[in-house]
């Protein structure tokens, strides 16, 4: 079962890369759900949310050669913005991710705190949600871009 989960997560990761979102849309639509919108390395025009804009400014100040190094940013650097963000670490050779920080406001809104938990551990009514997030995080790692 774990190999099947990883294979689907890899397919989602590939499908989420810029310009390839149709497979993910079909997966969500088949469950009667609207597919999430993933915006890769959003520009100023796309950053209409003040929280996204603030995060982009913090990241831009720490970029080197167009990339944000793994150790360039900590939760403490984000101040109160950290209440709105999740931070994950790669686990299991890139097949799973641990939430090392799960924003307070996200936890309040969703009704659960995933701090310390793995993407493979959480369950929801949508059977692919855990795999979707694993795939999304894999795509972020492989592309070196950030999303909103």
Q: Helix (H, G, I), strand (E, B), or coil: what is residue 86?
A: strand
Between 63 and 116, residue with greater pLDDT? 116
> Strand, coil or helix: what is 35?
coil
Is the confidence at residue 80, as pLDDT, over 60?
A: yes
Q: Quick one: how far is CA 26 from the chain centroid? A: 19
DSSP for 67-97, written as a single string: B--TTS--GGGGGGGGGG-EEEEEEGGGTEE
4 pLDDT tier (thresholds 50, 70, 90): low
User: Is pLDDT of 1 > 70?
Assistant: no
Mean pLDDT of 24-49: 82
Q: Quote the crossing angle between the two packed helices 2-16 and 22-30, to the nearest 10°.
A: 120
Q: Is the pLDDT of residue 56 over 90?
A: no
Instruction: Calculate the CA dihedral of residues 20, 26, 28, 32 and round it to 10 degrees.
Output: 150
Q: Token pair for residue 138? A: 């894999």
Query: Please, which pLDDT band fits residue 13 given cuts at 50, 70 and 90?
Result: confident
């Amino acid at each position: 079962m774990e190999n099947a989960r990883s294979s689907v997560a890899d397919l989602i990761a590939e499908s989420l890369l810029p310009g390839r979102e149709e497979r993910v849309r079909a997966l969500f639509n088949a469950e009667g759900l609207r597919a999430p919108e993933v915006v890769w390395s959003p520009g100023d025009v796309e950053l209409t949310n003040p929280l996204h804009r603030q995060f982009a400014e913090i990241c831009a100040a720490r970029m080197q050669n167009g990339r944000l190094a793994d150790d360039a940013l900590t939760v403490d650097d984000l101040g109160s913005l950290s209440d709105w963000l999740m931070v994950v670490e790669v686990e299991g050779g890139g097949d799973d991710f641990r939430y090392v920080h799960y924003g307070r406001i996200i936890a309040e809104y969703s009704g659960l705190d995933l701090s310390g938990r793995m993407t493979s551990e959480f369950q929801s009514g949508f059977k692919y949600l855990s795999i979707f997030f694993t795939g999304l995080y894999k795509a972020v790692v492989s592309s070196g871009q950030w999303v909103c």
